[in-house]
């Protein structure tokens, strides 16, 4: 009996390639979902007393470090590689209640942000700039401006929305130690704490600021 040899290698190779493409597409969709799934409110996922499963599962798309600022607790929680690392005491804007609405209101923003720049600072040792105002802040500002809820300058122009908000050190160590809120909206820490955070936090780090 003559044995027939089937030429199956090209067919198998094609099947393997097709499966590889499906796997790559699924992985890309999962990464996109993780990026778009960053919550506006980290209270749903973050705890300063235990590692966050959500941070851990999303750490590849969120980066190696995450920051959560709890305004009511006056604390900054730092996560590394999905695990709670350390909590630092902070002080806030001189008018700390409520989200930041416009320049001069001395409020600290609330929402989801990212570190967009980091630099050494002559007065505050180190400065981590965040992307306030984000799209949501700007939309709220426009809505409130249409409803005449934004104060006006003497010339009738609206107070601007503001900016240049970040996380930095403090040249008032005594007030910082007493927990006195004094900034125009930034989050301020003791000098040793901001030095450590500065060394650990890269540009692009997500920052959630919550009540």
CATH number, domain of 110, equals: 2.40.440.10
Asked if 47 and 32 sit in the same domain, the reply is: no
- pLDDT number for residue 42: 54
**Mean pLDDT to the nearest integer, 121-134:** 95
The reply to whether 194 falls in a domain is yes
Query: Is the same domain home to 122 and 33?
Result: no
Phi and psi (nearest 5°) for 130?
Answer: -115, 165
Q: With contact defined as beta carbons under 8 Å apart, do 201 and 115 qualify?
A: yes
Q: How confident is the model at residue 45 (pLDDT cuts 50, 70, 90)?
A: very low
Distant-in-sequence contacts of 142-149, Cβ < 8 A, 24+ apart: 144/101
- Tell me whether residue 187 is in a domain: yes
157 & 93 share domain: yes
1: in domain = no
Ranking 27-31, 84-88, 152-156, 189-193 by mean pLDDT, the lowest is 27-31
Provide the whole-model pTM. Answer: 0.73
The verdict on residue 3 lying in a domain is no
Same domain for 51 and 23: no
Residue 138 belongs to a domain = yes
From CA 10, how far away is CA 39, in angstroms rounded?
46
Is residue 2 assigned to a domain? no
In this structure, the answer to whether residues 99 and 197 fall within a common structural domain is yes
Same domain? 17 vs 70? no
Structural domain boundaries enclosing 29: 8-37
pLDDT band at 83 (very low <50, low <70, confident <90, very high): confident
Q: Does the pLDDT value for residue 63 go beyond 90?
A: no
Q: What percent of the chain has pLDDT over 70?
A: 70
**Do residue 33 and residue 83 come from a single domain?**
no
Say whether pLDDT at 26 is over 60. no
Q: Are both 12 and 93 inside the same structural domain?
A: no
- Same-domain pairing of 91 and 31: no
Residue pair 159/104 in contact (Cβ under 8 Å)? The answer is: yes
Q: Does residue 135 contact residue 143 with C-beta atoms inside 8 Å?
A: no
C-alpha pair distances (Å), 92 with each of 31, 110, 121: 34, 12, 18
Q: Based on the domain organization, do 124 and 32 belong to the same domain?
A: no
Residues 152-210 have pLDDT tens digits of 999 999 999 999 999 999 988 888 889 999 999 999 999 999 999 999 999 999 999 99
pLDDT score of 1 more than 60: no
DSSP 121-163: ETTTEEEEEE--S-HHHHHHHHHHHHTT-S-B-TTSPBPP---
C-alpha 99/C-alpha 92 separation (Å) is: 12
Query: Looking at the structure, do residues 33 and 119 belong to the same domain, yes or no?
Result: no
Average pLDDT of the segment spanning 53-59: 46
In this structure, the answer to whether residues 102 and 25 fall within a common structural domain is no
117 belongs to a structural domain: yes
The closest of 117, 132, 129, 128 to 196, measured between CA atoms, is 128
Q: Domain count for the chain, please give it.
A: 2
> What pLDDT does 173 receive?
86
In a domain, 81, yes or no: yes
Closest by CA to 104, choosing from 165, 13, 59, 63, is 165
């Amino acid at each position: 009996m003559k044995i027939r040899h089937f030429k199956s290698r090209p067919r198998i190779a094609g099947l393997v390639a097709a499966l590889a493409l499906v796997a790559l597409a699924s992985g890309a969709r999962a990464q996109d979902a993780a990026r778009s799934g960053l919550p506006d409110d980290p209270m749903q996922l973050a705890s300063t007393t235990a590692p966050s499963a959500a941070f851990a599962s999303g750490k590849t798309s969120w980066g190696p470090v995450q920051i959560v600022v709890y305004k009511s607790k006056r604390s900054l929680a730092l996560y590394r590689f999905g695990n709670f690392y350390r909590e630092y005491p902070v002080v806030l804007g001189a008018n700390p209640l409520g989200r930041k609405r416009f320049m001069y209101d001395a409020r600290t923003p609330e929402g989801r942000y990212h570190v967009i720049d980091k630099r050494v600072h002559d007065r505050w040792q180190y400065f981590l700039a965040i992307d306030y105002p984000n799209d949501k802040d700007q939309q709220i500002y426009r809505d409130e401006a249409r409803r005449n809820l934004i104060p006006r300058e003497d010339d009738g122009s609206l107070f601007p929305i503001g900016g240049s908000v970040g996380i930095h050190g403090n040249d008032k160590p005594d007030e910082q130690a007493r927990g006195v809120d004094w900034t125009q909206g930034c989050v301020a820490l003791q000098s040793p704490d901001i030095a450590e955070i500065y060394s650990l936090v890269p540009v692009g780090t997500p920052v959630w600021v919550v009540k």
